[in-house]
Chain A
């Protein structure tokens, strides 16, 4: 070993202080708290759609939000894991969950084919609000995940960006979705999926710059 390295090792050793090792649970709790705060905010400012709990919701409401919750959970788990360097991929679950969620917009478009005015059915002012509010509801989870990644040592920045966007988008959309009384396949399959796609792209573009170490 050369002298420069010996001196560096001596310096690092002298600088050593005890640290609390990373725990997966801490990252999950942080994200869970962010998601619950988001839900509380949605309940406070928008009000949850109570009709869903009285049997007024179509099955699409529960299927869509259930799938998004799974996607959000799988992506969150992947991001939390990514904060600790490791060799080998543990990101299969978000891929499959994304594929499953991808069926929803496909079903939405197929359901439009027999209609007279498919464009008019898709485009309505309320739907834009759904998209924008879902994106706004994604912010807190995104911040929590970025803070977690910054505390850690992620080694796959692009993947971390995609997954952070997916997790934040999916959990934010679920939180907002519980306040949305529009429960048709067309509305849910398009306007509650679009925010997730946008969040994923934004995550891919922005997050890698924030987590570089």
Chain B
């Protein structure tokens, strides 16, 4: 492993709302240790947090792999969840398939995927109904 790449791996528990956000919190802390600009940290924080929460709510958990180089942060979110049947609808603001219960908890505002796209510099989504979803995002380091 070359010295100028930091790789991190997180396993996300499904439906565990209490510890949701710990992985993105840990990455946030590491980015601060790396002296990365506030704006980049904020972009990463929002994009990764939304991805993490999505795995908790929709995918019964998943995995997050993070790679940090001096130029960018790459986040790969993979899960073996139900997949997204209508990607176009899921990408539009306000669209949500979360249950009433989830809404009542303050989640599922339909901003998850749109925010992930908005706060990252590149965003790719691969999904197959019944198999799972892989989202790859990068955030450039300013």
Question: Do A and B assemble together?
Answer: no
Chain B residues with CB under 8 Å of chain A are: none
Chain A residues with CB under 8 Å of chain B are: none
